[in-house]
A = this chain, B = another copy of it.
Amino acid sequence: MTTPLQGNALVIQSGGPTAVINQSLAGIMKASSEYPQIDRVYGAHHGLHGLLYENFLDLSCEDPKIWKEIAGSPGAALGSARMKPKNSDIERIFQVFTAHNIKFVFYNGGNDSAEAAELIREAANERNYQVHILHVPKTIDNDLMETDHSPGYGSVAKVVSHIIAGDDLDNRSFYNSVKINVVMGRHAGWIAAATALAKKGHIDVEDHDELGPHLIYLPEVDFSEKKFLEDVQKTYNVLGRATIVVAEGIADKIDHNKFAGEVDEFGNSLLSSSGKLGDYLSSLISKNLKYRSEHGKLRCRADTLGYLQRSLAGMASLTDQKEAFMIGSMAVHYMMRNETDKMVTLVRAKGPTYQCETSLCDLKLVAQKTKLMPRSMINRNENGVTEEFFEYALPLIDGVPELRALKAAHVKKVLSDYHR
C-alpha cells in the first residue's frame, strides 16, 4: 500500500476516555493542516456508532485555536463508544468511507480498538478499498503491548498517587484504621502499582515501609484471602493501621460472578462501577483482624475510586499531555509517509534523562493482547512493587507532592494508667 492517497481523514475515539485523549486529537489536527493531500478532517461522533450511522463532525471548520483548550479537557471530545464491528457492519463501513471519500483513518483507542482497526483493514483489502489506517494508542490501563507506556497512563498514575498519598495521611490520623482503595486497571496492575509512587515525595522518612500504601494487590498474582488477611494482620501489628490498594482485576481471582457487572461487545465485563469488591474485603477484615481494643473500635473503610481516576480536571500529567499530542501528530506524519496498519508506539531513550520518541509496530502485535506487569516490578511478597517499577513510572507523573508526617517525641507520662 504505497500509492499516495488524497482524500478526507477520519478520527475515531474509542473506549474509555483518558485525561489526555484530546491531546492526541489536537496533535492530529495540527499535523493534518500541514498536508495538502488531506482534504478535510472528520471526527466520528461517538466512535464506531458515528461511523456506522454516518454521524461525522467537520473538524476542519473549527477555529484552530480551540484545539489547545479541547486538548486540556478530559473526556472524549468527539464522543466515544464501546462497540465492536459485526460482520454485518463491514459493508456499511465501506459505503460510508466511499460516500465521504475517507482515505485516512486514525483509530484512537486501546487493545479492543486495535482489534477493530485490524478487522477494517482486512475488509478493506478484500474490497480493494484504498485507505490508510493507523492506531493511535490510548488507555489508562497501560496494558498495550509494544509501547513503553500508553498515553493516558501517566495522568491516571499521577492522580492515584496523589490520592493514595493523601489517603494514607488521612488514615494514619486514626487508631486501628484500615483503609482499602479499589482502583481501575482491568486485568493489569499498572494503576494499582502507581499508587505507591508518592511515597518518594515524603520528606525525612527513614523507613519507607511505614508509608502507605502498605499493601498492593495486583491481578498479575494469585489472590488468596488467607494470605491477604495475614498480610493485613502483619502490617497492623507493626503500625497499628494499614492502607491497602486493590486492583479491580483481582475480582476475577476471588469470584468473577460475585463482582462482575455488565458486559460490553468486546466481552469486557464492567469492573469498576460498584463498591462490592471493597465492601467484601472490608467485611473480611472486620471479621478477622485482631486489633488493640484499648485504642478503640476497628475502623475499616473501603473506597472505590471510580471514574475520576481518568477524568479529574486540571490534574493531567504534563509529560503525558506532551506525549499524547506527539503520538497524534506523529501518526499523521507517519501516514503521510505511507505507513499503515500499525500502531504508533513510545520508545524510551536509554540514558539518565527520561525521554521518549515514537516508532511503529504491527497492529497484530497489539490487538486482543494485554501487557501485564513483569514479575521484576512486583515485590517478593507479591503485595507491592520494586524499585524497578519506581524507575519506570516516576518520570511519567511530573514529580510527587512534598509531604511530611509528624514524628514528634512523646511527653513523659506522670500519672497512673487510665481505664475508661
Residues of A bordering B, CB below 8 Å: 13, 17, 19, 42-43, 45-46, 49, 52-59, 61-62, 66, 69-70, 72-81, 83, 86, 88-89, 92, 95-96, 99-100, 162-163, 165-175, 179, 198, 201, 203-204, 262, 273-276, 278-279, 295-297, 301-308, 310-315, 401-406, 408-411, 413-415, 417-418, 420
Give the chain B neighbours of A274 by CB distance below 8 A: 275, 279
Main secondary structure on A side of the interface with B: loop
Residue of B58, B81, B405 touching A174 (CB-CB under 8 A): B81
B306 touches A305 (CB 8 A): yes
B310 touches A170 (CB 8 A): yes
Give the chain B neighbours of A168 by CB distance below 8 A: 75
- Considering the chains assembled together, what is the distance between the CA atoms of A174 and B310 in angstroms? 15
B411 touches A56 (CB 8 A): yes
Given contacts A54-B415, A69-B402, contact A179 B307 (CB under 8 A): yes
Give the chain B neighbours of A409 by CB distance below 8 A: 57-58, 61
Give the chain B neighbours of A99 by CB distance below 8 A: 414-415
Give the chain B neighbours of A54 by CB distance below 8 A: 413-415, 418
A308 touches B163 (CB 8 A): yes
Give the chain B neighbours of A45 by CB distance below 8 A: 410
Given contacts A72-B403, A302-B273, A409-B57, contact A169 B89 (CB under 8 A): no
**Which of A49, A167, A179, A402 counts the most B-chain CB atoms under 10 A from its CB?**
A167
Given contacts A172-B75, A314-B401, contact A308 B305 (CB under 8 A): yes
* CB<8 Å pairs between A and B, sample of 18: A45-B410, A53-B417, A54-B414, A55-B410, A58-B409, A73-B169, A75-B172, A75-B405, A78-B406, A81-B175, A96-B415, A167-B311, A169-B313, A170-B310, A275-B304, A301-B306, A303-B306, A305-B306
Given contacts A42-B411, A70-B404, contact A75 B171 (CB under 8 A): yes
